[in-house]
Amino acid sequence: MLETYVAGGRRFRDYVLQVPLDWNNPGGPAIELFYREMVRAHLDGQQLPLMVYLQGGPGGQGPRPVGGSDRLDTALERYRVILMDQRGTGRSTPVTAQVISGFPDGDSGAAYLENFRADSIVADAEAIRRRGYQGRKWATLGQSYGGFLTLSYLSYFDNALTACFITGGLPSLEPSAAGVYARTIHRVRAKNEQFYRMYPQDRARAANLARTLAEREVLLPDGDRFTVRRLQSLGIDFGMGPGFERLHWLLEQSGDGTQLSDCLLQEVQARTSFAGNPLFAVLQEDIYGNGANGPSAFAAQAELEQHADFATDAPTLLFTGEMMFRWTFEETRLLRPYIPAVEVLAARGTHRKIYDLQKIAANRVPMAAAVYYDDMYVDAGLSLDTAKKVGGLQAWVTNEHEHDGINDPAVLRRLFAMVDEVGGPLTS
């Protein structure tokens, strides 16, 4: 154990494990895996059931709780919660531009990055469970990409689990990056229409700012050029509850678009540099690779090019969603070193298998999933198709929440109740 402390009425314990970089080569190079245990301080002496929180992403570190109330507060009413910095993130051995620059070519860089996919992440979780908790079974809570990880966990280590809860993250079991973007592009367009209905004054602000960016070079504090398409990429926030407001307040700072403040430029850089989560961009399309299901081939860019209303010079500027493009890597300083490896990954048609459809169909672990009808990131139609193919899964479809609905305590309470009503979690 690294350290233990109490904050906000919770007891924290921090740990680090050595795990193989490549789980298929356990005797090869090792990396560090950081995880944190969290429990309500007054319950610490009790033998509470365990829950591992599977963070969204890809490339997301475990949450850093602040105060005594957050998205995991409801889980702490009944569980001892384990927060993992997924490999390559946070206090685990990080993947950085400097690390990836050390590889001689794209093939070797891509081979390295393949070790940061779902199959490796769930193997890491198993190492924590077996070595840190003597093999006690535990429940999972998967938010967003954490739902992808949940189904991978069921595919590889279903005997480790007592119950699974998923919020906004039921993926297609026959994943296709192209198929995903063909669906989500329409949701992104609808979010733009909703945004401009809510803030009609921002139509002119966005147009004026785009005109300035097209006519002259504007640099962000790190030296990257602030382009129109980088401006459009701020629409990734539209899928979150306060996303419209956050973009509105940013556009408000742009005035007539001719004089851009240091504050605005710094905020744009913070939202688009990927300084803290490069794997989110690097593996964004690779998460759909499963067996021999073909290359991702920059599917988001191919889809967007079919929609003229998303052009940088369209009469109304439309913002894009959870999409990474070739230019994202070319125009972002901290992502440029990844270009050779990303191009190899995008062209690769065969991938490590992350889902076992037969095991998932035969699943007996109690499961409950929240499917957000208006989710901009994870298509509800694909999620409901998956729900029919997962044994033991109950799906709750709601239009009352966006992708971050887990922040409302009522969501987890609803999912917990759904599992309780069918007999509760399996015994650990």
Q: What is the pLDDT along the chain (428 residues), one digit of tens a residue?
A: 899 999 999 999 999 999 999 999 999 999 999 999 999 999 999 999 999 999 999 999 999 987 666 889 999 999 999 999 999 999 999 999 999 999 999 999 999 999 999 999 999 999 999 999 999 999 999 999 999 999 999 999 999 999 999 999 999 998 899 999 999 999 999 999 999 999 999 999 999 999 999 999 999 999 999 999 999 999 999 999 999 999 999 999 998 888 899 999 999 999 999 999 999 999 999 999 998 899 999 999 999 999 999 999 999 999 999 999 999 999 999 999 999 999 999 999 889 899 999 999 999 999 999 999 999 999 999 999 999 999 999 999 999 999 999 999 999 999 999 999 999 999 97
- Please state the domain extents for the chain: 3-173+355-420, 177-347
Q: What angle do CA 38, 41, 44 make, to 5 degrees?
A: 75
The alpha helices in 142-200, defined as continuous H runs, are 145-157, 177-198
Instruction: Tally the residues of the chain.
Output: 428
Collapsing DSSP to helix, strand or coil, 252 comes out as: helix
Going by C-alpha positions, the residue among 387, 285, 258 that lies closest to residue 343 is 285
Going by C-alpha positions, the residue among 120, 159, 143, 108 that lies closest to residue 340 is 108
User: How many CB atoms within 10 Å of residue 202?
Assistant: 20
Burial of 189 by CB count in 10 Å (0-12 exposed, 13-18 middle, 19+ buried)?
Answer: middle
User: How many CB atoms within 10 Å of residue 336?
Assistant: 15
CATH number of the domain located at residue range(s) 3-173+355-420 in this protein: 3.40.50.1820
Between CA 413 and CA 406 the distance in angstroms is: 10
Between CA 55 and CA 255 the distance in angstroms is: 37
CA dist list (Å): 142 to 72, 148, 162, 273, 337:
11, 8, 14, 26, 31
Under a CB-based contact definition with an 8 Å cutoff, are residues 299 and 324 in contact?
A: no
Q: Tell me the pTM.
A: 0.96
Question: What's 327's DSSP letter?
Answer: H
